[in-house]
Structure formats: C-alpha cells, structure tokens
Structure 1
Amino acid sequence: MNWLLRQLGQFASQGTTQFWLAIAMPLAGAAITVIIFRIFPSSFKGHGVSRVMLAVHRQKSVLPLSLAPRQWIGSTATISSGGSAGPEGPIVAIGAAIGSSFASWLELDAGRRTTLLGCGAAAGLSAVFGAPLAGVFFVLEVILRDFTARTFTPIVIASVTAAATAQTILQSPDPIFGIALIHIDQTPMLLAQTPQYALLGVITGICAAGFAVGMKSAHRAFNLLRIPPLVKPLIGAALLVACGVAWTLLHQQQSPVENIAANAGKLPPFYGNGYSLIESLLSEPIGTETSALVLFGSLALLMILKAIATAFTLGSGGAGGLFAPGLVIGAILGAAYSALTVLVPALPDVSPTHGVLVGMGAFVAAGAHAPLAGAFLVYELTHSYAILLPLLLAAVIATVAARLVYPNSIYTAELAALNIRLTSVADHSILRSTLIRDLSLLPSVPVLASDSAEMLIEIGERKSVHNFPVVDNEGRYHGFVCGSDVRSALVYRDALRLLTVAELERTDFAPLESDDTLDTALQRFSRHETQALPVIDAQTRKPIGLISRSQIMAVYNSTVGAQ
C-alpha cells in the first residue's frame, strides 16, 4: 500500500496529464473496491472496527474469514488510489477475523473466542504501528470494553509478540504504516503549561465530536440515495476528485500550507492516509506573527477538507478505517493551535512538534473514546516521557469533552444507528455501587404460616400484591410465598380454603437486607424463578418491603443511559 501511494505521487509529478490522471485515480480505486465488495458480500454496511464490535457484543464473536480479503483488498484499492482513509481499521478487522476463525476451528466457547478475536486485533494493530501498548489498550477500551485478567494477559502476550515479530522481519523499529520514530526535546512539562494543554484537549474533544457527527451525517445522506449500494462508493470518489480538482485550481500561489503539502507530495494533501502530511507538519516552523495568522487559517481550511474527504470516502461505503484520518486531523489541529498561541499573547507558546503530537493523541482518544490508546500510541512513536504527561492530560480532557458534546464515538455511532447499545464488564459496577436502601421498595403484606391460602387471593385482589413474606408470631421473617405458587394453586380454587400458607411457603429464599447491593440481589434472583424478593431489617429481621427484577433493570438502564 505504501509503495502504491509513492508510485502514485511519482506518477503525478511526471507531467500535467499524469497529474490530472492521478487526481482522478480515486474513481479507479472505488471501482475496484466495488468489485471486491461484490465478490465478498457483507450484510453489515459499517467499517472494520464497528463490524468487529458488533460481532463481540451481539454475535458471540463470530466473524467470517471472508472479512479478511474484503478488508485487505478493498482498503488497499481505496487508500493507494488516494481515498481518504486509513489501513489500521481494516488490519484490526483482518486480525480479529483470523482470531475468530481459529477459535471456531478449535471449537472454543464464546468467551475464549472473544479473547482470541481480541488477540488477533491487538496483534494486527501492534505490528503495523510498532506500538504494543496502543494495540492492547485500543482492543480493551474500544472493542472488548473489558479489562479483566482473563482478557488482559493473552492480549498483552499477542500484542508484544506481534510487534517483536514485525521488527525482526523488518530489522527496524519503524512502523509499517504511520510515521517513523520521532526524537523530540526532553524538556519536562511544568505546572504553568497545564492550562494550555487542557485547552487543547477541550478544543480537540469538541472537534472530534463534530467529526463523529459529520461521519454519521454522511452515512445517513448516502443511505438516503435511492441507488444500488455498490454505486455509492463511486459517487463518494467522484466528490473526492471534485475536491481535489478545486484544491488544485484554487492554489496556484503557494501559501504556508502549500509548502507543507508540497513536502508531503504532489497530490492534494487530503488524499490518501496522510502520514506524509504529518511528517511535514512536524518539521514546519511557524515563523512570524503574520505568517502564523496565514498558517492558522490555511490549516483550519485543510482540517475541514480532510474531514470532508474522509466523509466522502467512507460515508459512501468505501473501504478503510478512521484511525489514520483521526491522526491527521489531530495533527493539523495541533499545528493550528501552536500557531494560535503565537497570535494570542495570553496563551503560552506551544512548540509545533508538541502541538502536533498532543493533537494527534488527543483527537484519536476523543474520537474513539479511548484515552489510554490515544496517548500511548503517540508515546510509542516518540519514546519520550516528556510528551507523555501532556498527552495523558489532553487525551483525558478531550475524551470527556467529546462525550459531553456527543455520546457516541466514531465507531459506536455506526452501531447506534442500528439501535445497538454496547455494554461492558465495567457496567456491573453500577449494580455493585447501588444499595437496596437507595430504591423505593414495593409494599409487602406479611402473613402467618397458619393463615388460609384463600386469604392470599383476597389480599392480592384487594391490594395488588402477589408475593408474601411469611413471619412468625413475633413478626420476624420465616419464609416466602411466591406469586407463581399462588397462581398454580388457583387451578384448584375450591380446595384453597383447605390449604394453609405453610403448605405454599418456601424456606429456601434467603432474604435481602437494605445494605445489600443490587449485584447481590441479582445473584439471588438468578437462583429463583420469582419476580420479587423479600427485604428485611438487619436488626429486627422483620420484612420492610419487596424488591423486583424490573426495579434493578430500571436502575441499570437509567444509569447506563446517563453515562
């Protein structure tokens, strides 16, 4: 893929005719992608990472092996012809498909298949970026949403092994895709610099949320077109070519951003994965205040164009991932912020290199809702502890800002359109942190073991109560009568006057106490087929009410929705 992109750039520099042919090349890439999609069809219309997330959370981690060639060949055709997309998402999908298929071949259960799927995804990302930590955290934060030891240990082993294997084969620590290792100054972050990186995090988070909304709008707009789905990538490519033509015609005189674009290659800077553009941004000085103003405006325009180009390429159904576009947009945003600090005296200056690197990590973190993955990805490109502190600060703040503006990430937005809401193992902390006394209990009507069973029917009809705690003569809890048992007794209603509560009572129901958590209540419900359980006072052992399954689910759903 890298070789094809370089060949396209060299072809564009050979003359005017070759240049305009290269500008129109995304149409050829889209045509090849359409053919590949026809050969390897898929019912899911989203992209690689979203497809993997859907499999993990709704399809028992089952992925067809045909997803691998579909993503590999389709993304290669799209990106190498100039489409604005990245190879990382398809690589994650390819690794996940291989891991899932291998687990199915071994006839493993769904839990182990999920772990192997995560191992394949982390290994793919780790190998191409040379970033094992980023691979681990991306899979745990974004795909599996699970940090338990059962998944963490094997995924770490797979990620580290993949990175070591890639470096052994290539005999170089440089990543297959992305930018080469960057050496920056080791000046430590000072307390006085905290506000400027925090502000960059806020700005990046808002822009990342806007990017996610824009991608969702692009998907929706292309879905409204009443044309065959396989034609839509061609329309997206045509729109991208139109942007490329307009950019070329309107930039006859070189501006600061044109100098950057010229260093990145002959094609429009928003074509392809954009890694050469990042390398140019890292080495471009800001200059004087006047040139900083021009640079800021040019970079803002370029950032918008990159987002639009990505929306055309991927929103229309083209193959590729959102990881690389996120890195590029974040790099441009960081460079623009560095230029802004020159223009605004109240803002302490941020070096272009630090601005670009922190912008990259923060934008990926905010877009994917994965602060650790975004921060450690850039850290592993620099191996500099000096950049890690501002990275972590900006990444966390950007993620919070993005979630406040728009609740979905660039990946979950595609699933939200299908009414799919993802959960995680961490969601069980909601049940562990909520006590029964925090809820409004249902009223209970205690009865004695000697009471008539017919009286239960009368109380139920009069008070709409169907479950009854049984107490002794001093009012202490003794047992429980389930509504299902009362309904079963109704079959022989004439015999109810002969039955007593003692004959319907069940003593295997351990009562709950007001200081028990909802997690404990849910475990008790799993042991019994009942819709309600008794709650007693821990001191007096007297019933104080009932808790129902529906109450627990209502608390869980409302808390998850609020998050």
Structure 2
Amino acid sequence: MALPRPTALVDRRVAAITALSVVLALVAAVIAQALQALIALITNLAFHQRVSLDPSSPADHALGAWVIVVPIVGGVIVGLMARYGSRAIRGHGIPEAMEQVLANESRIPLRMTFLKPLSAAIAIGTGGPFGAEGPIIATGGALGSVLGQLVRVTPDERKTLLAAGAAAGMTATFGTPVSAVLLAIELLLFEYRARSVIPVAIATSTAAAARIALVGAAPVFAMHDVAAPGAEALCAYVLLGALLGLASVAITRALYAIEDGFERLPVHWMWWPAIGAVAVGAIGWLAPRTLGVGYENIEQMLDGELAGRALVVLCIAKLVSWSISLGSGTSGGTLAPLFTIGGAMGALLASIASSALPGAAIDPRVGALVGMAAMFAGASRALLASAVFAFETTQQPMVLLPLIGGCAAAYFVSCLAMPNSIMTEKLARRGLRVPAEYAADVLARVLVRERMSTSVVTLAAERALADVRAWLATGSADAQHQGFPVIDAGGELIGVVTRRDLVGGECSEDATIGSLVHRTPIVVTPDRTLRDVADDMIEHDVGRVVVVERARPRHVVGILTRGDLLRAYELRIAAERHAHVARPLRARS
C-alpha cells in the first residue's frame, strides 16, 4: 500500500538552506557597506571634486547652476548601462525581484549582482533623489538567487535564498532585522512557512551582527525620547495615517502617469533617465535638500528642526524630483523618498492639529514618524514592515502604538482606493498575478474523515468481467462511479479499477476483475488532511484514493475523489458569501 508522505515543518534541507543564508548574509552585509561607500565616493567626486569615502551631502555643493549638469551625466551613464548591460537595472529593485519570484523561479542573472548596485550608486551619487535601500535589497536578492543557481536547490528554496539575501541587505543598511523579515514575508516570499521564515530570520540576525561589528548599534535615525500618547493624540495619529494613505494613492498614480508619459516620448528609452535628470538638477539647484539620499532631512524632521515653509518646500520639491526621475526608468529606491515626503506631510499635519487642539499633546515629531511609515505602508502595502521599520530605525518604544494605528489606517484607505500598490502595479500591467493575502490552506484544515464517502461500491476480485459490464449497462446509481475498489474473498483491498479498465481494452469477457488490477492501490487513513490527499493524487496521477483503517491498512472504510477535494472549498466560499450578505449587527432588546 502507498500511504501519503509524512509531513514536517522543517527537515535537514532547512538546516542546509539556513547555513547558506548565514554565508549569504555576511556577504550582503559587506556589499551593503561597500555600496554606501561607493555612493559617498561618487557624491564627493561629483559635487565636491574630492576623493573621499566619508558620507557627504550634495546639498552643500558650491557648483551653482552647474549642479543641473551633474544628474544629467549620471542619467546618461545609467541609460547606457541599461541599454548595453541589462534593462533590468531600471526601477527601484523590489518589483523586479518580485517579478523573478513570480515568473522566473527566482532566477536572477549573475550580472545583476554588480550592475544594479553600480547603476544605483551612480544615479544616487550624482544627485538622484533616491535611497540606497531598494538597490541593496535587489542586490542581496540577486546574490541569493545566484547562490541558489550554483547549488542544487528547489525553486522554493531558491526563493528563500533570494528573500534571505534581500532581507540581509536591508538589515545591513538600516539595522532593522525584524522589519526586514516582515518585508520579505509581505513582498517576496508570498507565504509564512517555517522552512522559509527560519533561514530569512537567521540571515537578518547575522547581518545585524555584522553591521554592529562594522558600524555600531546606534539607530539610523536618532530621535529624542517622546512621551506616551494620550487618547486624543492617538486618534489624531490614526487620522493622520488615513490622510497619508490617500496621499500614497495619489502619489502612486502620479508616478505611473509619469511613466506612461515617458513611454510616449519619441526617443529611445536609453535617454529617458537623462531627460528625467534635467528636472532633478533644476529642482536641486532651487532646493538643494532634494539631491541625493537625504537621510539628514529625515533626522531633522524627527528632531523637530525642520518646520513650516521649509517642510512644505522639501515635501513638494522632493515629490516632483523623485517621481519624474523614477518615472524615467533610472535606478533607485523608494523607501527613503517616501519616508521624506511622508515625514514632511506628517509633521505639517501634526503641527496644524497641535495648534488646533493644544490640550491633546500632539507631537509633530511623532507625526513625522507616523507620516513616514504610513506613506510607505499605503504605497507598498507592507503594513507590518513599515510600522516596525520606523520603530527599529529610531528605537523609540512609545511610538509603536501610533505607528501601528497610523499604518493600519493608511493600509486600509489604500486598499479601498487602489487595486494595486506601487510595487505591484507594474507587474499587474504585465499580466502577473501578485498574491496579496496569505491564508491557511483550506485543504490543510479538513480531515479525510470529514469529506470521504462511506458508501463505497466495491467489486469482488473473483467476479467475471462480463457480469460487471452487464451491471454497468443497467445505469443504476451505484454503477455511475468512475472508480471501484477491488477486494478479495476475505474483504481485503487488493487494488482499484476504473470505468475505463472495465469497458475498454482487449480483455476477455471471462477475465476476472482481479486480473485487471495492475498497480498498488493508493490509500489514506481518515486522520490525514485533504492536503495530503491532493499531494498524493498529483504524485501518483490518480483521481481517487481509498480510505482504510490505520490498524487494518487493507480494510476499506471510505473513498475520496478529486470532486470531494473541490467541494471542500465550499467552506471558504460559504464563509465569504456570508460576509458579503451579512446584515449589520443590532443590539438585542
């Protein structure tokens, strides 16, 4: 008898993938620091005409109007790299990684491990208004994918390595291991399973340790301690998150409208980054804060040093510069720009609310942090990753409640107003179906005993084929089945025959039913799940399995068909139908 394979949450393969993830995380941590050093080097060369690896801001340049030329030069170089290197370097990294997971078994070409970070460093170092996180995530993912192609792994294991590399790269940049795991789950893994989450979590822990060893454990965005919010302030932060959710929808639509505009230009796409860089340079000349990564802008917002008109100018200028540049198809990230734009909006709204409600103790600094996270949550639909990321980068425990409330409100509004996110809109346009919800498999929750048919029509092994054919011709209800268990004289199962076996072929009319059995029967016990049965049906290419007692594996107690598996989904469909037609609850009198 062929019983279903035993299932386990983890096995030795998981241990092997975890070991590979640790090595991958160490490499990703070094590359993350190297990429940031490269960005600093290019920034110093382009804006300050010096050779240095020390971080510097392009806003402090002394180029005057010549600053407009710097991003254009970077755009030309990125366009050439995309044309003659790989077109895949265009964009902000995460959607491209998602596409490889969904459509290409997580296979990313080796050249992407150096083309993507190099192109991003050039784009950002020459003033592109992006963050380094997207390219680093894409590079870490590419490393994991390449490793998964060099060693013998399954597509699922390669996806896990890709996600581990991406999460390790994010952790090495920001020191945010928990949010990196959550981001991997929400945007790359499309599942929550022990065999995928464990390697990713170990990889982020390793990358965090490597980052501490290289640069220390200080938070990326230092923020002075804030007080616990009161009830009124908390309500204000949740409302602020909802408003930022609306803003994220508008920004996403504007970005893709700009992309569509570039698609209509009568010039080759290789020149689009240079055209978009004209806007980056012009805006950077008028508002130097918009140039480059701009992490210092985020720190100043969280410290309350940026306020009023400066916030308004930064918010509008950064939004226009970033959306035009990214829409042109250059190489860059989304997290830092969205954080800057959302933080500015959040600080402004919180300042207005604080003036209108002086007794509510609404803190504009917390408003900036909630705005940052809510903007990313609404745009990317990475709800948990957004809230935890803002907490980990500031290490302020009192902001957790405002963050989760504001991000949930933004997520809710975004889901109501927009079918796709900033990460998935491009993929949806290419015809890819991106999973947005992860639920426990219905088949894994239903036992065989709940769906099997106990009225089993069996055939005796010694019965003549002619007799059975005559019985089938009567058209009785029992004769309508497509498969029949065959039992011997003692009532023990010996196999299964199908209707095709009985009515087709060249068998003699005098043949017995037992002589038609040519393969070991596939059986299952009543305590197994329908998921086990589905896997077994696919592996053995059968349309039905016989249910037997565990203590007596040849004693038939039921039968389960493909139709029974499909009917198990009635539970989910009925629940969803009930949710749509349910009336509002009323208090009982």
Normalising by structure 2, we get a TM-score of 0.72
Query: Quick check: 1:209–1:403 contact (8 Å CA) kept in 2?
Result: no
Equivalent residues of 2:58, 2:291 under 8 A apart:
no
- Pair 520,326 (structure 1): closer, same or farther in 2 beyond 3 Å: same
Q: Which amino acid aligns with 1:384?
A: Q
- The residue aligned with 1:252 is none
When the two chains are superposed, the root-mean-square deviation of aligned CA atoms in Å is 4.6
Alpha-carbon contact 2:280-2:321 (below 8 Å) kept: yes
Q: Which residue of 2 aligns with 1:118?
A: 163
Contact 1:5 1:80 in 2 (8 A): yes
* Residue in structure 2 matched with residue 397 of structure 1 by the alignment: 409
Query: CA 1:283–1:480 in 2, change beyond 3 Å: closer, same or farther?
Result: same
Distance in 1 (alpha carbons) for counterparts of 2:92 and 2:480: 51
Q: Distance in 2 between matches of 1:37 and 1:461?
A: 68
Which residue of the other structure, out of 190, 198, 203, is the alignment partner of 2:243?
A: 203
The match for 1:138 among 167, 175, 183 is: 183
Q: Which residue of 2 aligns with 1:84?
A: 129
Q: 1:184 aligns with which of 219, 225, 239?
A: 225
- Partner residue of 1:551 out of 566, 573, 577: 566
Which amino acid letter does the alignment assign opposite residue 238 of structure 1?
A: V
* Structure 2 counterpart SS, 1:530: coil
Is 1:340 aligned to 2:358, yes or no?
Answer: no
How much does 1:143 deviate?
1.8
Q: 1:11 to 1:155 in 2, by over 3 A?
A: closer
Structure 2: distance between partners of 1:57 and 1:333? 34
1:171-218 alpha-carbon deviations (Å, 9 max, x no partner): x4457xxx5422222x22334443222222222233323333333343
Is contact 2:544–2:560 with CA below 8 Å preserved after alignment? Answer: no
Structure 1 pair 134–492 and aligned structure 2 pair: CA distance change class (3 A): closer
Match of 1:256 in 2: none
Q: Give yes or no for contact 2:47–2:61 (8 Å, CA) kept in 1.
A: no
Corresponding residue of 1:235: 275
1:344 and 1:477 mapped to 2: Cα distance?
82
Question: What CA distance in whole angstroms lies between the structure 2 residues aligned with 1:411 and 1:557?
Answer: 28
1:275 has 2:288 as partner:
no
Pairwise CA distance, 1:499: 5.9
Give a deviation string over 1:386-444, Cα, whole Å, max 9, x none. Answer: 112221222233223323332433222232222222459945534334689999x99x9
Aligned to 2:252: 212
TM-fit CA distance, 1:553:
11
Q: Give the aligned residue type for 1:276.
A: E
- Structure 1 pair 166–393 and aligned structure 2 pair: CA distance change class (3 A): same
Given that 2:67 and 2:281 are in contact with CA atoms closer than 8 Å, whether structure 1 keeps it comes out as: no
CA contact (8 A) 2:170 2:176 kept: yes
Per-residue CA shift, 1:365-402, capped at 9, x if unaligned? 33332233222222122222111222122223322332
| SS of corresponding position for 1:306 | helix
Amino acid in structure 1 at the alignment position of 2:183 = F
CA drift of 1:501 comes to 6.1
Shift of 1:90: 0.6
Amino-acid identity (%): 27
Letter in 1 for 2:238: A
Contact 1:453 1:497 in 2 (8 A): no
Q: 2:365 aligns with which of 353, 370, 375?
A: 353
- Inter-partner Cα distance in structure 1 for 2:290 and 2:260: 23
Alpha-carbon deviations, 1:301-333, whole Å to 9, x = none? 754553443332122210011111221122122
The 3 A distance-change label for structure 1 pair 520 and 101 is closer
Give the structure 2 partner of residue 375 of structure 1: 387
Q: Which moved more, 1:192-201 or 1:317-326?
A: 192-201
Distance in 1 of aligned mates of 2:255 and 2:508? 65
Conservation of the 8 A alpha-carbon contact between 1:85 and 1:320: yes
Shift of 1:233: 1.8
In 1, are the aligned partners of 2:233 and 2:361 still within 8 Å (CA)? no
Q: Aligned residue for 2:521?
A: 508
CA distance in structure 2 between the partners assigned to 1:76 and 1:456 by the alignment = 77
Instruction: Give the whole-Å Cα distance in 1 for the aligned partners of 2:228 and 2:434.
Output: 39
Q: Of 468, 475, 500, which residue of structure 2 is paired with 1:487?
A: 500
Q: Which residue of 2 aligns with 1:101?
A: 146
CA distance in 2, matches of 1:84, 1:508: 64
Query: Closer, same or farther in 2 for the Cα pair 1:528/1:29, shift >3 Å?
Result: same
Tell me what 1:8 maps to: 47
Residues matched between the structures, number: 519
Letter in 1 for 2:140: G
- Once the 2 structures are TM-superposed, how far is the Cα of residue 446 of structure 1 from its aligned partner? 5.2
Deviation at 1:356, TM superposition (A): 0.6
Cα separation, 2, equivalents of 1:173 and 1:102 = 29
Alignment of 1:57-68 (within 5 A): 57-68=102-113
Q: CA deviation at 1:32?
A: 1.3
The answer for the alignment partner of 1:319 in structure 2 is 331
Displacement of 1:49: 1.7
- The unaligned stretches of length 5 or more in structure 2 are 1-38, 49-56, 549-555, 580-589
Does structure 1 conserve the Cα–Cα contact (< 8 Å) formed by 2:245 and 2:378? Answer: yes
The unaligned stretches of length 5 or more in structure 1 are 249-265
- Whole-angstrom CA distance in 2 between matches of 1:196 and 1:438: 49
Distance 1:209 1:154 in 2: 34
* Distance in 2, Cα, partners of 1:445 & 1:488: 18
